[in-house]
A and B are shown apart, each in its own frame.
Chain A
Amino acid sequence: MPANLLDEPEIGEESKKQYLWTLNFGPQHPATHTTLRLVLDLDGERIVRATPYIGYLHSGFEKLGEHLNFNQYVTIVDRKNYISPPMNEVAWHNAVEKLLGIELTRRCQYIRVIIGELSRISDHLLCAGAAALDLGAFTAFLFAFNQRELIYDVYEEMSGYRFHPGYTRVGGVMQDFNDRVIERVRAVLRSLPKAIADMEKLLFRNRIFLDRMRGVGVLSKADAINFSCTGPLARASGVTYDLRKDEPYLAYRDFDFSVPYATEGDCYARFQIRMEEIVQSMGIVKQAIENLPGGPVNVPIAEKFPMPDKGTIYNSMEGLIQHFELIMPNRGYETPKEEIYAAIEGPSGELGYYLVTDGTQIAWRTRTRPPSFIHFQVFPMMIKDHLISDIVAVLGSLNIIAAELDR
Chain B
Amino acid sequence: MTQAATDPHAATFSTLAGLLGEGVFSTSTFKDNVRLHVSPGRLIEVLTVLKQRCGFEFLSELGGVDYLEYPGRTRSRFEVHYVLLNLDTTERLIVKVGVDDPNPTLPSAYPLWRGADWMEREIFDMYGIEFTGHPDLRRILMPEEFTAFPLRKDYPLRGRGERHNFPKLSRGES
Contacts and interface: CB of A to CB of B under 8 A. Distances in A.
Interface of A: 54-55, 58, 60, 62-64, 66-67, 98-99, 101, 223, 225-230, 239, 241, 246-247, 337-341, 343, 350, 352, 354, 356, 358-359, 364-365, 367, 369, 373-374, 376-377, 406-407
Contacts, number: 105
A120 B140 CA distance: 28
Interface of B: 30-31, 33, 57-61, 63-67, 70-72, 81, 83, 85, 87, 90, 92, 94, 113-119, 122, 126, 139-143, 150-151, 157
Contacts of B150: 60, 63
Contact of B81 (A60, A337, A341, A359): A341
Contact of B71 (A98, A241, A359, A377): A359
A54 B141 CA distance: 6
A394 B14 CA distance: 44
A340 B94 CA distance: 10
A339 B115 contact: no
A376 B141 CA distance: 13
Contacts of B81: 341, 354
A121 to B, nearest CB: 25
A350 B140 contact: no
Contact of A367 (B57, B63, B72, B85): B63
Given A223-B114, A230-B60, A367-B64, 8 more contacts: A339-B33, A340-B30, A340-B31, A354-B65, A369-B63, A377-B115, A377-B117, A407-B141
A67 B158 CA distance: 11
A350 B60 contact: yes
Contacts of A359: 71
Contact of B113 (A55, A226, A341): A226
Contacts of A226: 113-115
Contact of A63 (B90, B118, B157): B157
B65 A62 contact: no
A63 B19 CA distance: 40
A225 B87 contact: yes
A337 B30 CA distance: 11
A55 B71 contact: no
A67 B33 contact: no
Contacts of B142: 55, 58
Nearest to B121: A377
A-B CB proximity, top 3 nearest: A228-B115, A367-B63, A55-B141
